[in-house]
C-alpha cells in the first residue's frame, strides 16, 4: 500500500464518498477516485489529512500539479481548497452553485471561476454523470 492509500478510508468518509470539487459520487461511477494532494507533492505538499482531497479522476487529472488557475478575467486565483472549510460542503456552496436541472456547476466567486475552468468541472462527461446522479437522488 502506498503512503497515500493508507489515508483512503478516512479521506473517503470525510468527503461522503463524493468528489470534493465536482460532487460526483464515487460509488455510482464504478471508478476509484483519487486521493489528491491539494498542494502537489512536486511543490512540497505533504501527505497529511489537511492536504488530502477526494477527487474524481477527471478533476484530479485536469488539476494536475496546480493549486491556482485563471478566473474569467484571466487573473490568477487560488483554486478552491476544500480543506479551508469545515465542513467542506459549506465552502463548496460559498464558491459554487449546482443547477439541478442541467447538472452544470456555476461559480459564485473568482476562486470558483478559476476552479471550474482549471478542473474542467463542466466537461460534458462529468455533467452527464452528475445529471444522472441528481436524477436518481444521489446529489442534492
User: Binding residues for Zn ion, how many (CB under 5 A)?
Assistant: 5
DSSP letter assigned to residue 139:
-
Q: Is 22 in the site for Zn ion (CB under 5 A)?
A: yes
Site string for Zn ion, 54-83 (x = CB under 5 A): --x--x------------------------
Answer for which of 11, 14, 15, 21 binds Zn ion (CB under 5 A) is: 21
Secondary structure of 14-82 in the HEC alphabet? HCCCECCCCCCEHHHCCCCCEEEECCCHHHCCCCCHHHEEEECHHHHHHHCCCCEEECCCCCEEECCCH
State the minimum distance, in angstroms, from the CB of residue 127 to Zn ion. 11
Contacting residues toward Zn ion, per CB under 5 A: 19, 21-22, 56, 59
Amino acid at each position: 500500500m502506498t503512503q497515500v492509500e493508507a489515508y483512503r478510508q478516512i479521506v473517503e468518509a470525510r468527503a461522503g464518498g463524493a468528489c470534493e470539487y465536482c460532487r460526483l459520487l464515487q460509488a455510482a461511477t464504478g471508478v476509484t477516485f483519487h486521493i489528491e494532494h491539494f498542494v502537489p507533492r512536486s511543490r512540497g505538499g505533504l501527505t497529511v489529512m489537511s492536504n488530502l482531497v477526494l477527487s474524481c479522476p477527471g478533476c484530479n487529472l485536469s488539476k494536475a500539479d496546480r493549486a491556482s488557475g485563471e478566473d474569467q478575467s484571466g487573473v490568477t486565483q487560488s483554486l478552491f481548497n476544500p480543506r479551508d472549510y469545515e465542513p467542506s460542503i459549506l465552502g463548496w456552496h460559498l464558491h459554487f452553485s449546482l443547477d439541478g436541472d442541467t447538472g452544470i456547476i456555476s461559480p459564485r466567486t473568482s476562486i470558483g471561476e478559476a476552479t471550474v475552468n482549471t478542473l474542467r468541472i463542466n466537461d460534458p462527461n462529468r455533467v452527464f454523470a452528475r445529471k444522472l446522479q441528481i436524477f436518481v437522488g444521489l446529489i442534492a
